[in-house]
Structure 1
Amino acid sequence: MTFASGDPTTLLLVRHGETALTPERRFSGSGGSDPELSATGRRQAEAVAGVLATLGPVHAVVSSPLRRCRETAAATAGKLGLEVQVAAGLREADFGVWEGLTFAEIRARYPEELAEWLASPAAVPGGTGESMDSVTRRVEESRDKLLAQFPGQRVLVVSHVAPLRTLVRLALGAPPESLFRMELAAASLSEVAYYPDGSASVRSLNDTAHLR
């Protein structure tokens, strides 16, 4: 693959820090509660802010509207003297009645629905939730707006597992099932560059060195 000349637009992808639900690996989407960062999550947000301050210029900070992301984003924005911009399209998926449950609990209570969700991006989780096809459409729209608004710049994007995995999947041109083969830890950092010719390059994925 050849890249067109000119500076790429770089999205620095950060998953929010931990909430009380994160260590238990409970589904926490946009259809349930809106938890704040835990004490560990706040420390993680400060660690992300510290490393981002050393990685070169950041021209904008954009966050999901959910509280855990806005709190994570605010830590970096404060260090950089930037305002947090909110993008509704970067919110987490709505998991319907699965909200607050672990994967094991969902598998025990809703085995057929879970199997369908894992097999098809068109499947609706939890009966009333949001399909991954729907997530993909709004994430694509949010991505395209950012690329148009910040050409050649570096933008911090603070979001959740499903939207961030989707951005990486689309950059790689990978199939939908690849979403379930990526690890994105709380407060992890990934980086995707988008070039003027329309191509993209995943530069890093799930970097957690700043948390050690």
Structure 2
Amino acid sequence: MTSAPDGRATGPAAPTPPTTLLLLRHGETALTPHRRFSGSGGTDPELSGTGLAQAARAAASALLAEAPVHAVISSPLRRCRQTAQAAAERLGLDVEIEDNLREADFGHWEGLTLDEIRTRHPADLRAWQSSATAAPTGATESLAEVAARTATARDALLARHPGRRLLLVSHVTPIKTLIAGALTAPAEATHAMHLSPASLSVLVHTGPRAAMHLYNDTSHLR
């Protein structure tokens, strides 16, 4: 219940409208088709020609056009900034940079395929796949720590943009951890998720609750 200045009850408070997070993974780089690990500690590759085309298609998707998007927030890495810029230009918005949306640092695994990591660093890979507190070889950030910083970014954005529709352009690991958090799943659950380049996923936050409305949608690329 709310009350008037004279203390009279005026009825229940109006519910806070939901805040919608549109989660867009960046388009392809030269490393993506070969499934090579590409984190925040690597070469910071740009989008390939295919990736630029994917970014343009994502920017023109029906999902972004069906209702106003109030802000475009991107990881600082180049592949995300390029993907975000395509959407921002179409929406008439600027790109805001959020460092906590950057990809994990994969240490000595940067640029390697999973098979190469399995050959060179088998024990570290097994630990990383089984425990959210283990870090890749030569890296200082575990999956749990990535999840914590992406949650920090999410909470700040929800507080700053209540009831708004936000486009977040990020990477595989941060997006998966945001989804796992919304589903109250452990961070290790991200290893069972697949996320395609330039795919869109949607989380709708109402108060402390979140619901996943869409996952890994690539219909705009077809």
Q: TM-score, normalised by structure 1?
A: 0.96
The equivalent of 2:151 in structure 1 is 140
**Are positions 1:118 and 2:143 aligned together?**
no
Q: Distance between the aligned counterparts of 2:177 and 2:109, measured in 1?
A: 20
Counterpart contact for 2:36–2:113, Cα < 8 Å: yes
Can you list the C-alpha shifts for 1:104-158, whole angstroms capped at 9, x where unaligned?
0000111000000001111010223421111011101100010011000000000
Counterpart contact for 1:122–1:132, Cα < 8 Å: yes
Q: Which runs of 5 or more residues in structure 2 are unaligned?
A: 1-13
* Residue 56 of structure 1, CA deviation: 1.1
* Residue 5 of structure 1, CA deviation: 3.6
The equivalent of 1:30 in structure 2 is 40
Q: Tell me: higher relative CO, structure 1 or 2? Use CA pairs within 8 A at least 6 residues apart.
A: 1
Counterpart contact for 2:69–2:165, Cα < 8 Å: yes
Matches within 5 A, 1:1-212: 5-51=15-61, 52-196=63-207, 198-212=208-222
Q: Which runs of 5 or more residues in structure 1 are unaligned?
A: none
Secondary structure of 2:65's match? coil
Secondary structure of 1:203's match? strand
Secondary structure of 1:151's match? coil
Can you list the C-alpha shifts for 1:17-57, whole angstroms capped at 9, x where unaligned?
00000000000000111000000000000000001442211
Secondary structure of 2:148's match? helix
Please tell me whether Structure 1 or Structure 2 has the larger radius of gyration of its CA atoms: 2
Q: Distance between the aligned counterparts of 1:129 and 1:77, measured in 2?
A: 33
RMSD: 1.1
* Residue 183 of structure 1, CA deviation: 1.1
Can you list the C-alpha shifts for 1:58-100, whole angstroms capped at 9, x where unaligned?
0000000000000000000001110000000000000000000
Q: Distance between the aligned counterparts of 2:36 and 2:145, measured in 1?
A: 21
- C-alpha spacing 1:194/1:122, structure 2 compared with 1 (3 Å): same
- The aligned length equals 208
* Residue 177 of structure 1, CA deviation: 2.1
Q: 4+ residue stretches of structure 1 with deviation over 3 A?
A: none
Counterpart contact for 1:53–1:79, Cα < 8 Å: no
Q: TM-score, normalised by structure 2?
A: 0.91
Counterpart contact for 1:9–1:151, Cα < 8 Å: yes
